[in-house]
Each structure stands twice: as C-alpha cells, then as structure tokens.
Structure 1
Amino acid sequence: MNFFEAKLAHQTDVSDVHTALESGEPGFVLVDSRDQHAWRQGRVPGALHLREVEDSLDPAVPVVTYCWGPGCNGATKAALRLSRKGFQVREMIGGYEYWVREGLPVRTDQGTSRGEPDRLTAPAHQVECGC
C-alpha cells in the first residue's frame, strides 16, 4: 500500500493533468523539460519551459514536469532538480508522447491543434479513460 501511495504522490498522468488544466485552477505549474527545438515542435498548452522559468518559479506552488515520453527520463531529472530546491513536484507519466497520442491539444507558435486519439492509448471518443 505504501508503494502505491508514494507513487501517486509523485506521479500523475496526462488525463489527470488535462482535466486539472481545463478546470482553470489546476493547483500546479506545468513545466516542460525538453529543449527549445522540442518546445517549438509542440507542447502542452499552458506549460512553461523549464529553462526559461526555473529561477522564477514560486516554491509554494506545486510543479508537474514532463518530457518526451516513457523512454525519456528528462522529466524525472527536472523533478529531482526542482525537489532539491524545495519544490513539491510530480512527474507526468507518459510525457508529451502520450499527451499527443491521447488526442489532447498541442500548442505551437502557429496556434493550437488537436489530433485523433491513438486507439492503443486512449478511448476513441472521449478524453477520460474511466480509470
């Protein structure tokens, strides 16, 4: 039981992050830990870029980090760095890859778009998986 409680205390998923952001009052700052090229390629709407805001974040506000996806530990490294500075941090499992694969909105400098959900990772006609 303690393992699962700890896991949920330190991780969240793309569906829960999306729902929180849509509420208008997510209770956290979403931070993208990828490089500038990846940031320009596409990002989660409302996310901030780590290298631009790291020194100006308020330690009283929780942070959620993300990177490319399950095969990348950039979000974990960013979460460790921020937690060492006293931030309460959670990592968004699945990262940007699963955000896109679930058909959630993607922001670029040209605007916001939304793709079709990948049937292997998300329900075809809804955002929430029901879990």
Structure 2
Amino acid sequence: MNFFEMCLEFQTDVSDVEKALSSGDPGFVLVDTRSAQAWGQGRIPGAIRLEGARLDPAVPVVTYCWGPGCNGATKAAAELTRRGFQVREMIGGIEYWIREGFPIRTDDGDKLGEPDPLTAPVRALDCGC
C-alpha cells in the first residue's frame, strides 16, 4: 500500500463526513476531541464528546478537533487505535466544516453559515473531489 492509499484509509474529509451523516446511516460515530468549552461554542450535529464517551470497538470512529493547526484528533485517533478501534481522522476539523458552510449545533440550536469561497464551492452541491 502506498502513502496516498494509507492516507485514504486513515483520513477522511469534511465533505465525505457530511455526506455520510446526511445519509442517516454513516457507518461510524463522529467524535469531537475538543474541550467542554469548545464543545459549548459549537459542534458538528451528531457528534459526541470524547470525554466520557462509551464507544463500542465494533463501530468505526471518526475523530475531529479544531482544524489543521491542532493535533487533538490525531492524538485521540492514535490512542483509540491502540485500544483496538478502527479510526479515521477528519482532516480540516471543525474549522473546515464551518468554512464549507455546514451546520453547527449549539445549545441555542443549529446555525448555518455561508461557505468560504476560498475553501469550498459556492452554490454547488459538492467540490467535485
């Protein structure tokens, strides 16, 4: 297996995660590795917090954190892998989730922003990747 095939085996991106979550049966549990304070600021709908989570090793996991400048999702993925979980890291984190215009859940409800034209297609169904 080459490096790029390995990347696809161990990483996913926000568009693929959103598409899977929208299907109603993503085939994984989405795990937010950030702090309680960060969780309170906003999270991906359907995600659970790593802290205190009861995960089933038979169910694949996708981890995420703040964004490319944070390795919290990588650290969590490494630890979960050591514990026998099948894990992928969502590259881009919640930063790119937001930049692509996907919804964020807060205690006050869901919020939807506009896609950032520098990181996501505007008025398109997908990026074509």
* TM-score (ref. length: structure 2): 0.98
Task: Render the CA deviation track for 1:29-76: whole Å, top value 9, x for unaligned.
Answer: 0000000000000000000000020xx200000000000000000000
Alpha-carbon distance in 2 for matches of 1:75, 1:15: 17
- Asked if structure 2 preserves the Cα contact closer than 8 Å seen for 1:15 and 1:127, the reply is no
Alignment partner, residue 58 of structure 1: 56
Q: Over aligned residues, Cα RMSD in angstroms?
A: 0.8
Alpha-carbon distance in 1 for matches of 2:84, 2:73: 16
Alpha-carbon distance in 1 for matches of 2:99, 2:5: 27
Write out aligned runs for 1:30-45 (5 A): 30-45=30-45
* TM-score (ref. length: structure 1): 0.96
Alpha-carbon distance in 1 for matches of 2:58, 2:2: 25
- Asked if structure 2 preserves the Cα contact closer than 8 Å seen for 1:104 and 1:127, the reply is no
Which structure 1 segments of 5+ residues have no match?
Answer: none
Alignment partner, residue 72 of structure 2: 74
Write out aligned runs for 1:82-101 (5 A): 82-101=80-99
Query: Which one has the bigger helix percentage?
Result: 1
Alpha-carbon distance in 2 for matches of 1:38, 1:97: 12
Runs (4 or more) in structure 1 with deviation over 3 Å come to none
Residue type of the alignment partner of 1:119: P
Number of aligned residue pairs? 129
Alpha-carbon shift at residue 127 of structure 1 (Å)? 4.6
Please state whether the residue corresponding to 1:6 is helix, strand or coil: helix
Alignment partner, residue 118 of structure 2: 120
Alpha-carbon shift at residue 2 of structure 1 (Å)? 1.1
**Identical pairs, percent:** 71
